[in-house]
Amino acid sequence: MRAAAVQLTATPDKGRNLETADRLVRAAARDGARLVVLPEKWSVLGPGRALREGAEPLDGPAVVWARGLAAQLRIDLIAGSVAERVPGEEKLRNTCVHIDPAGEIRAVYRKIHLFDVEVEGTTYRESEHEEPGDEPVLTRADGIEVGLTVCYDLRFPELFRILAVRGARILTVPSAFTLATTRDHWEPLVRARAIENQAFVVAANQIGEHAPGLRSGGRSMIVDPWGVVLAMAPDRQTHVVADLDLDQQTAIRRRLPSLANRRPVAYRWPEEAHV
């Protein structure tokens, strides 16, 4: 399977974002990608107010466009994540949508881990305007098991391990990693999730300034189950592609069977984290 990671700079301007996404997804398909991953919040990104104003239900313009394009191009499209307005809920959801080559929604994953942190003096509080999901989601693209995650989830290896144990061979990570955390943490984390789960990781990151004081670091990448970086994006809006050798993955899992050698009976979760 040939996969692509799309890297773009989303802003509160939804029309501009959609035009950029359309251009880059089409370019990825022309390069032969059958699985295309958009970044986190590709349709609108900015401060909390901008997200609330730009949020849509899953039958809104952003997902309708994604469904139409996936059907036209005959691709599996991981439509990154969108700011989802759920009827009856006060807060938004950060929602990843898998759309199949028929234009049908195959899976919906709502980001479990919210980005409530301080990075280089800037405080982020996603929980102020978003509600977390509570269920890992596995889907299938061209008969291959794909695990869905979003951005900050990358720091929680237990989620990726659950997806791998359930059968995921490809893990997707639509993201808007900050400039600082992209610089210091992005590649080590993406490669670690690939190595420890012996899975391909397609990590599509945002790049550039979304609003004053809000920047992402790019370096979108595709990594193989041995941890080798197959493709990495330059510092601009673009896409990267790589061929995912599933036979090679099977051989790696056979020769170094770390998933099979797990001993779940020996693991006990502490009642609380001591930090």
The model's pLDDT over 178-230, given as tens digits with 9 standing for 90+, comes to 999 999 999 999 999 999 999 999 999 999 999 998 999 999 999 999 999 99
- Which residues is 217 bridged to in the sheet? 207
For residues 239 and 31, give the distance between their C-alpha atoms in angstroms, rounded to a whole number.
10
Q: Say how far apart CA 6 and CA 3 lie, in whole Å.
A: 10
Q: To which H or E segment does residue 98 belong?
A: strand 93-99
Considering 14, 40, 56, 126, which one is annotated as catalytic?
40
Full-model pTM: 0.97
Q: What is the DSSP string of 127-172?
A: GGTB------EEEEETTEEEEE--GGGGG-HHHHHHHHHTT-SEEE
Q: Which residue among 111, 126, 130, 131 is the active-site one?
A: 111
Q: What pLDDT is recorded for position 150?
A: 98
- 122 has pLDDT over 90: no
Active site residue 91: no
Model confidence at 274: pLDDT above 90: no
* CATH class, range 2-255: alpha beta
Q: How many CB atoms lie within 10 A of CB 197?
A: 24
The predicted pLDDT at position 58 comes to 97
Reference 127, options 173, 93, 163; nearest CA is 93
Give residue 269's pLDDT. 87
Tell me what pLDDT residue 209 has.
96
Decide: helix, strand or coil at residue 214: strand
In percent, the amount of the chain with pLDDT more than 90 equals 94
Q: Determine the Cα–Cα distance for residues 56 and 241; give it in Å rounded to an integer.
A: 29
What band does 273 get if pLDDT is binned at 50, 70 and 90?
confident
Q: How does the average pLDDT of the chain come out, rounded? A: 97
| pLDDT of 233 higher than 80 | yes
Rounded CA-CA distance 223/132 in Å is 27
Angle (CA) 71-73-75 rounded to 5° is 75
Q: Is 151 a catalytic residue?
A: yes
Contact between 130 and 93 (Cβ < 8 Å)? yes
- Cβ atoms within 10 A of the Cβ of 14, count? 18
Task: Give the contacts of 65 (CB within 8 A, at least 6 positions apart).
Answer: 18, 22
Q: Is 111 a catalytic residue?
A: yes
Residue 271 has pLDDT above 90, yes or no: no
What does the pLDDT look like over 107-120, one tens digit per residue?
999 999 999 999 88
Q: Which of 100-109, 114-123, 233-242 has the lowest average pLDDT?
A: 114-123
Reported as a single tens digit per residue, the pLDDT across 137-172 is: 999 999 999 999 999 999 999 999 999 999 999 999
Q: What is the pLDDT of residues 18-59, one digit of tens each?
A: 999 999 999 999 999 999 999 999 999 999 899 999 999 999
Do residues 185 and 48 lie in contact, with contact meaning Cβ atoms separated by under 8 Å? no
Query: pLDDT at position 24, please?
Result: 98
